[in-house]
Amino acid sequence: MLFNSYQFIFLFLPIVWAGYFALGRLSKNASIIWLALASLLFYSASNWQFVALLSLSVTFNYLIGSLLIRAKLDPTPRSAMLATGVSTNLVLLGYFKYAGFLVANLNQMLGVQLTLNILLPVGISFYTFTQIAFLVDAYRGEVSRYDLPVYTLFVTYFPHLIAGPIIHHKDIIPQFERGGGKMVGLHLVLCGLIIFAIGLFKKTCLADGIQPYVSLAFGSEVPSFHAAWLGALAYTFQLYFDFSGYSDMAIGISLTFGVFLPLNFNSPYKAASIIDFWRCWHMTLSQFLRDYLYIPLGGNRRGRTLRYVNLMITMALGGLWHGAAWTFVAWGVLHGLYLCGNHFWNAVRPDLPSLSGRISGIAGATLTFVAVVVAWVFFRANDMVSALTILSKMAAPAHEQLSYREMLAGLFVFCYALIAWFAPNTQTIMGYDHYNRRVGEGLIRFSERPVFVYVAAALLGFGILGIQQHSEFIYFRF
């Protein structure tokens, strides 16, 4: 089921919401079980064949986690327990996501014709990472005991289940335990609805609106210089508004249940460096990779060279997490190189006075943006040959006359760039503070100026009108 569908907005969400708070008055457990079951129903609407897999995964990880939390084991069996848990998760993810990729590569290398058709369970990358984090923290002794219904809800909670944000048990489970649907927070509901409206507008109007121009670069024909750049830029903005729109919707929906989800985006295209970009793009994934991969590898604690090696490993695996294709690996490796370059520059650059610092800030932001656009070509292209063809066109300026379609694409890209670079982001508009559990304090003033509510309502209206296109979120496939 898609957030941008009539059945979700007008049927599923109101029923689940009403049931959650109605049951919450009776019993906290009842409301939690209701929400967990509703989440499984949400998942089964488009992935019924994988509900059993999801349920097995939840049960298995809960059992392993419980043993790590409760059983007084010696260090060796305890480590073995963690290794079993993590490796089982990775094997499962590897089988569903990477076995086909492996077979395709074997076919190419050995000249054989092995066939393997495996459907990818939607959301497996997200719920696998969420649970690996849980197991690792349980091993470290950083997890208190959770009941099975709460744990199940934590993993399956429908606002985040399909495409994140990747949530952390320490952040989310206490919110379920404290809230449990006992009382409707009307202020949170209002703020949640407005954030949802902004997200829906971003997805159905902005992301889907620029989508037709992506084919200028990524269509079936070899693009011209202008078409390659315009298509790559169109994809740059489509991906941002699509994924940040999805994240806004998830945050908004969750807020109506009284649960604050972590932010996933913080105006990444305004970033002045690639390090800054990764602090603002898919933030929950970056945090996961940092805490559970980069730092365990040694992080920056073992010298500059090993830091660069760790960065490259982290980013290459981060790329592979997005999809089983060499293009994603190339995307990750390229960002790894960017990050190494950025850290190296930070280590050797001279101190600059404030004026030239400002100029270098603008130069840094421009360079970062161009570098990100170039990397998106690998991310979006069907294969490496296509990616390199498009990039070769982007690198070869030509004096060609722009077609009407290219001119219009240019206008779209310009307008979207203005929004991405200069407009405040959703959390700024709404005053969303995930850590301090605050939102919409400015809205108390806005309520005296209802125009804000009307503008948000118009966004909701246009967002609903844009639903017709029924396009999936790009990040569903990861």
Partner 1 sequence: MATPLANIIRFLTAGITTVSFVAAINFIIDPLQLFWHHGVFYAYTADSRLQNAGLIRSQDYNAVLMGTSLSVHLRPSDVNRTFGVRAVKLAMSGSDSVEQRFVLDVAMARRPALVFWELDDRTFFESPAIDENKFIRPDLYRRNLKGIIGYLLDLDITRESFFIALSAIKPFKAIAHGLAAAQYLKFYGDEVDEIGTLPATTDLSAIYNAGSIRAAFATAEKYPKEIYFRYNYQTLVRNFERDFISIIRDHPETKFCVFVPPYSILQFVTIRDVSPEALQTIYDFSAYAFPRLLSLPNVTLFDFRVAQDITHDLDNYMDLLHYRPMVDQRVLSLLAGGKYRVTRAAPSDSIERLARQVATFDTATMRPHAVQPTSDAGGPGCR
Catalytic residues: 322
**Per rule CB under 8 A, is residue 32 in the interface with partner 1?**
no
Site string for partner 1, 399-428 (x = CB under 8 A): ----xxx-xx--------------------
- How many CB atoms within 10 Å of residue 79? 12
Options 19, 100, 212, 299; binder of partner 1; rule CB under 8 A: 212
User: Using CA atoms, how far apart are residues 318 and 331, in angstroms rounded to an integer?
Assistant: 9
In 3D, which of 239, 233, 184 has the Cα closest to residue 207? 239
Distance of CA 179 to the CA centre of its chain: 25
Contact present, 213 and 191 (Cβ < 8 Å): no
> Half-sphere exposure (CA, 13 Å, Cβ side) for 405?
11
In 3D, which of 416, 468, 473 has the Cα closest to residue 206? 416
Contact present, 220 and 227 (Cβ < 8 Å): no
Options 74, 221, 351, 448; binder of partner 1; rule CB under 8 A: 448
Options 109, 112, 186, 385; binder of partner 1; rule CB under 8 A: 186
User: Using CA atoms, how far apart are residues 205 and 218, in angstroms rounded to an integer?
Assistant: 21
Contact present, 62 and 148 (Cβ < 8 Å): yes
Options 374, 466, 474, 475; binder of partner 1; rule CB under 8 A: 466
User: Using CA atoms, how far apart are residues 116 and 118, in angstroms rounded to an integer?
Assistant: 6
Options 197, 311, 330, 334; binder of partner 1; rule CB under 8 A: 197
Options 205, 274, 315, 324; binder of partner 1; rule CB under 8 A: 205
Options 7, 105, 356, 447; binder of partner 1; rule CB under 8 A: 447
CB 196, min distance to partner 1, A: 11
User: Using CA atoms, how far apart are residues 308 and 339, in angstroms rounded to an integer?
Assistant: 8
Options 33, 51, 69, 189; binder of partner 1; rule CB under 8 A: 189
Q: Please say which residue, 83 or 458, places its beta carbon nearer to partner 1.
A: 458
In 3D, which of 469, 387, 412, 394 has the Cα closest to residue 237? 412
**Per rule CB under 8 A, is residue 458 in the interface with partner 1?**
yes
Q: Please say which residue, 137 or 406, places its beta carbon nearer to partner 1.
A: 406
In 3D, which of 332, 338, 328, 322 has the Cα closest to residue 275? 338
**Per rule CB under 8 A, is residue 187 in the interface with partner 1?**
yes
**Per rule CB under 8 A, is residue 348 in the interface with partner 1?**
no
CB 116, min distance to partner 1, A: 22
Structure tokens at 300: 């920056």
Q: Please say which residue, 269 or 416, places its beta carbon nearer to partner 1.
A: 416
Phi-psi region of 185 (alpha: psi -120 to 50; beta: other; left: phi over 0): beta
**Per rule CB under 8 A, is residue 469 in the interface with partner 1?**
yes
User: Using CA atoms, how far apart are residues 267 and 419, in angstroms rounded to an integer?
Assistant: 10
User: Using CA atoms, how far apart are residues 464 and 461, in angstroms rounded to an integer?
Assistant: 5
CB 467, min distance to partner 1, A: 8
Stretch that binds partner 1, among 156-164, 232-240, 259-267, 441-449 (CB under 8 A): 441-449
**Per rule CB under 8 A, is residue 183 in the interface with partner 1?**
no
**Per rule CB under 8 A, is residue 210 in the interface with partner 1?**
no
**Per rule CB under 8 A, is residue 45 in the interface with partner 1?**
no
| Interface with partner 1: number of residues (CB under 8 A) | 34
Q: Please say which residue, 379 or 412, places its beta carbon nearer to partner 1.
A: 412
In 3D, which of 158, 180, 174 has the Cα closest to residue 253? 158
**Per rule CB under 8 A, is residue 457 in the interface with partner 1?**
yes
As to burial, measured by CB atoms within 10 angstroms (0-12 exposed, 13-18 middle, 19+ buried), residue 189 is: middle
User: Using CA atoms, how far apart are residues 41 and 1, in angstroms rounded to an integer?
Assistant: 9
CB 423, min distance to partner 1, A: 20
**Per rule CB under 8 A, is residue 454 in the interface with partner 1?**
yes
CB 442, min distance to partner 1, A: 13
CB 184, min distance to partner 1, A: 10
Q: Please say which residue, 234 or 460, places its beta carbon nearer to partner 1.
A: 460
Options 379, 443, 473, 478; binder of partner 1; rule CB under 8 A: 443
User: Using CA atoms, how far apart are residues 235 and 216, in angstroms rounded to an integer?
Assistant: 10
- Applying CB under 8 A, the residues found at the interface with partner 1 are 186-187, 189-190, 193-194, 197, 204-205, 212, 403-405, 407-408, 443-444, 447-448, 450, 453-454, 456-458, 460-462, 464-469
